[in-house]
Chain A
Amino acid sequence: MKISSSVSDSDQIVSLLGRMPLLKMFSPEQLRQVLKFSQVHVYDFGETLIEEGRTDRALFFLIAGSVYVLKDANLLMEFNRVGDIFGEMSIIDGSARSASVVARERVVCLVVDAAFFDDGGGDSEQAMLCQNILFRAIAQMLAERLRRMNEDIIAMRAAAPAGSGSLQA
């Protein structure tokens, strides 16, 4: 894994992040605030971004490439869209990583340190606003995933033959 130096002055990254659906509500100035707590990481194919069971705390924004989400080496899902977010659970509850995330190819990510969520760069109104917006973005993304999971559960229940097992409520 390669780590870039500070990205806080990178207009290119600010412009790229500004186009990500969940970050559209940030102003360029607010994005720079987030970037103060961020690094750009580059991973080669097969490298682990997030390791199941570890207690590191960072939030990942996918900038390029795609990743597998694995639990005990079993495939759970794949992220492959620019702006996809992962690693948010440990930011919210501080728990150990519930799954691993592995590079499916060469991957570039913006990695936001948990310190941003704990402290947000101080008590300034701007910093607090940034935290709020980012939390709202995470909440939106989680709501979307929950909605999809509900749809999957409904589809599985519909597909299960009557009286067959635990999916029957």
Chain B
Amino acid sequence: MAHQTPGNDAKAVKSDIARAERLLARGELIRAIDTFLSALRLKISGVIPPRDMAVVESHLADFCKEFNGSLCVGEAFAALGEPRRPLLPWRAGRDRPAMNTLAALKFRMQEYRSAEADQAIAQNQARLEELIAQGTELLRENNLPKARVTLRRAAEQFSRMPGVSMRVAVIFLEYERWSEAADMLRSIILATPKDPEAYKLLLRALTAMGKDREAEEVYLSVLKRFGPHPVTCLNLARLYLSQRRMDDAYKYVRQALDLDPTLAEAQELLQSVV
């Protein structure tokens, strides 16, 4: 146990109260309440000699006075729609009602903040959908500069929401805006290098743009990161074949067949290579 001797308990209670006062002064209301509650719990369960108790009680009374006059407490009451009144009329030796009141305030504030956060999420979601719809409409109208700005803004502004960048990248791909899609997918890979879908889509964009050199690098990095896969090997072999790099094409089509001997496309490609 941390506080075994009576002197230690009194000291710990006073230290918690002092910390709660500092937190309150900084406007960190929930942390201040938590710290003050731990002081009250310790006062109830600990052993405090009578000579220290009067000092502890006076510290508690001081905190309650500060609490009742605090600006952030007033703001919390206003936000909760509760009429402000002296919240913690301190009575020496009557700790539980004060604990209960503080705990109730803490839980109500947590509910309020959670509801506020839910509302903010809903608003963000609505704004994101609006930007995506606008961007998609601009792409449909072939207004690429404005579409690019709008969709990139959606991805940047809501980057903390999961999947937004990928969603924007897919929209660019659907409208065959390969370069914009590739930019988006490169940044996704940079941020989350373990996402195989991003590599797959980037390769689709690079292939469409004829960026064979970068495509080759991406295929090789995929094989290195995720291990050999017959379809990846087959696609890399196809890329090499299109560049007339027959030895490399043979190496990878052979590897594809080693991994999956039933892969019919690899068997066909092997005929072209040998």
Contacts and interface: CB of A to CB of B under 8 A. Distances in A.
Contacts of B104: 45-46, 68, 70, 102-104
Nearest to A71: B103
A44 B86 CA distance: 12
Nearest to B38: A73
A100 B41 CA distance: 14
Interface of A is mostly: loop
A25 B101 CA distance: 36
Contact of A48 (B37, B40, B80, B101): B101
B85 A44 contact: yes
A100 B102 CA distance: 13
Given A44-B85, A45-B108, A105-B82, A70 B103 contact: yes
Contacts of B107: 68, 75, 104
Interface magnitude class on chain A: 10 to 19
Nearest to A103: B104
Given A44-B85, A45-B108, A104-B108, A53 B103 contact: no
Contact of B99 (A45, A73, A105): A73
Interface of B: 37, 40-41, 80, 82-83, 85, 87, 96-97, 99-105, 107-108
Given A44-B82, A48-B100, A51-B96, 10 more contacts: A44-B83, A45-B82, A46-B101, A46-B104, A48-B97, A73-B41, A100-B96, A102-B103, A105-B82, A105-B108
